[in-house]
Chain A
């Protein structure tokens, strides 16, 4: 089985493994049809890497994530690989510069570049700090390279591969000549590396960016490319060198803060029921709850625009300790926070002794449980959900009982009732 690398073909973190493979005589294939933001969100992918980041290498023994670790593994597939030096101290120095490339160079480049591309909030002070740190790091690197062609020893090692890939992002996206000329040895080093045959084979022609990306306009936040359609500049080795796909690299660093995509619930036809009015009625009714609030609810309820759902916790036998059970419910309600505009719920913890039963009633905008709730709130799958049939008087009465914290509830005492509004 060949080694399969899950990454796009312009991801500098994927390059590390590919270049290491060239040097080591190892076959690494890029997975077919990889789509950033889509392929790495599937359950199969998350089984390989629970944090869902890219790249991931599939090996006969299992998956490996973290770009440097992947590059190390590929390197070690070849015994006594010169990429790892020829002594223990050389090995240590190689690891030293790999870490340096990641902590000192890459991290600061990211903090400078991504906000300007609109992928992270832009803060002038934070950017200045990142640039200052980067300059410090490049300064030290420059000193080291003053009398060295390679980072360690006298030939390319894994440290050079990782360092060069990290610098590549900088040189092609944000480090202009006037910036890098302060670090002439780093410049010499970089251009020497990217023109080595094994680097050139993977990365293609490299051009230095000629201007720093502008600060994103504060009024219109930059819309990052749709993850489903990564804008991949086709590699035309003879003409324009491919720009690294920052969106891809970003997915390894940060989730592009999706500019609040339109919630499909906002696109539903308007409803006469105003959720906030119900919430106000619920909260402000102190006496005659049944006559005022419950009646008011059914008066304003719009079965076309909203739906009611019962939920029933699937694992009530776990609920043996009262405060743990209550915490579980609190956690659920906290995680529901993102649905506040579209939902109202009551959760009841029932019973005078363990195991406690947890049940609830929820009002959701729309006719279904909103998909984004099922996707984002993992507690949802811990409950059985059933749509309320409001033509059934018994079910309607159950809804009422839950909204008003009726006790006894189905013949039992209530330990607690929590409201989501």
Chain B
């Protein structure tokens, strides 16, 4: 039985496993007809992951969730995988940077991006804190990378795969050149990684956001379902609207706490999806531009 990954092909969290698989000579199939917000709300799926998040890997020995854990499993399928370094200490450093990528980089990018994308309520103070925390993290990362090509040792490890995938969402959707210019070593690192053959194979061509998505209008909260809100909707907004609709269908399986920030029915649904970050993370928008 092959390994089956339940995710969309453009989900940066699924991409971690796919790139690890390329390096490790492991075969992974994508689950057929996977629909975000639908496929992951079925009872069968919830048996595999009770919290219903994505990605999820089906293996001959059972299902695994949490994108980093999946990537680790894939890497360990190959004995003595160089992705895991060549000593215990290197292993520790690889885990260190995997965790750093997940606790310092990823959540702060998400906290900045999702509210602007209309997927979470926007608060200027919260955004400010997130951007500050992100800069602090990028500065530390920049310092580390000043004299290094790879995070650990002298070749790609699992830490680079996860870090690059987490940075990918940022670079693509919200971190413009003027933002990242303050972290030149991180820039060099990022472009080197995404252009490595095994990364390119999975990610395709990678671009950088040229503008920060605007703050959603406070009067009319992002009404993803109303096509008449914007005279011209970018392809991106349409995709988001689709996903929101998909997720709404899944919402009936959950109990919701009413969030009192607006009386828009769909706003409620969006808020309730706040925990469903995995649903949106790294849905690499095929049109590299985010909101203009």
Contact = CB atoms under 8 A, between A and B. Distances in A.
Contacts of A2: none
Interface in A236-293: 254-255
Interface in A63-95: 64-70, 72-73, 76-77, 87-89, 91-93, 95
A88 B91 contact: no
A129 B103 contact: no
B8 interface: no
B262 to A, nearest CB: 10
Nearest to B99: A66
- Majority DSSP secondary structure for residues of A touching B: helix
A69 B89 contact: no
B279 interface: no
Interface stretch (A100-108, A200-208, A296-304): A100-108
B159 to A, nearest CB: 10
Contact of B275 (A49, A102, A133): A133
Nearest to A96: B69
B222 to A, nearest CB: 15
B126 A104 contact: no
B61 A129 contact: no
A126 B126 contact: yes
A77 B88 contact: yes
Given A62-B89, A98-B69, A126-B126, A88 B133 contact: no
A331 B139 CA distance: 15
Nearest to B73: A92
B157 interface: no
A96 B66 contact: yes
Interface in A102-138: 102-104, 107, 120-121, 123, 125-126, 128-129, 131-133, 135-137
B243 interface: no
A120 to B, nearest CB: 7
Interface residues of A, number: 56
B257 A88 contact: no
Contacts of A141: 50
Given A50-B143, A132-B257, A136-B51, A69 B99 contact: yes
- Majority DSSP secondary structure for residues of B touching A: helix
A405 interface: no
B64 to A, nearest CB: 5
A76 B143 contact: no
Nearest to A87: B61
A88 B100 contact: no
A98 B98 CA distance: 13
Contacts of B91: 72-73, 76
A97 B76 CA distance: 17
Contacts of B65: 96, 100
Contacts of A59: 89, 92
B92 to A, nearest CB: 4
B269 interface: no
A125 B62 contact: no
A140 B46 CA distance: 9
A92 B76 CA distance: 9
B103 A66 contact: yes
B64 A92 contact: yes
Contact of A140 (B50, B64, B96): B50
Contact of A121 (B87, B125, B259): B125
Nearest to B92: A73
A69 B98 contact: yes
Contact of A107 (B99, B107, B260, B272): B107
A65 B96 contact: yes
Interface residues of B, number: 60
A209 to B, nearest CB: 21
A99 B102 contact: yes
Contacts of B97: 66
Interface string B33-56: 000000000000000011110000
Interface in B67-82: 67-70, 72-73, 76-77
Nearest to A121: B125
Contacts of A331: 182
Given A62-B89, A102-B103, A136 B254 contact: yes
Nearest to B181: A327
A67 B96 CA distance: 8
A69 B95 CA distance: 5
Nearest to B120: A129
Interface in B120-153: 120-121, 123, 125-126, 129, 133, 136-137, 139-141, 143-144
Contacts of B254: 136
Interface string B265-284: 00000011011000000000
Interface in A341-357: none
B2 interface: no
A97 B49 CA distance: 11
A92 B69 contact: yes
B93 interface: yes
B245 interface: no
B63 to A, nearest CB: 9
A88 B81 CA distance: 14
A88 B59 CA distance: 11
A99 B65 CA distance: 9
A105 to B, nearest CB: 11
B92 A50 contact: no
Contacts of A393: none
A99 B50 contact: no
B74 to A, nearest CB: 9
A70 B259 CA distance: 38
Contacts of B120: 129
A131 B88 CA distance: 38
Instruction: Kindly list the 8 A-B residue pairs having the minimum CB-CB distance in the complex, ordered from nearest.
Output: A73-B92, A92-B73, A89-B61, A51-B140, A69-B95, A61-B89, A66-B99, A95-B69
14 contacts: A51-B136, A70-B92, A73-B92, A73-B95, A77-B88, A88-B76, A89-B59, A98-B69, A121-B126, A121-B129, A126-B121, A126-B123, A132-B259, A143-B50
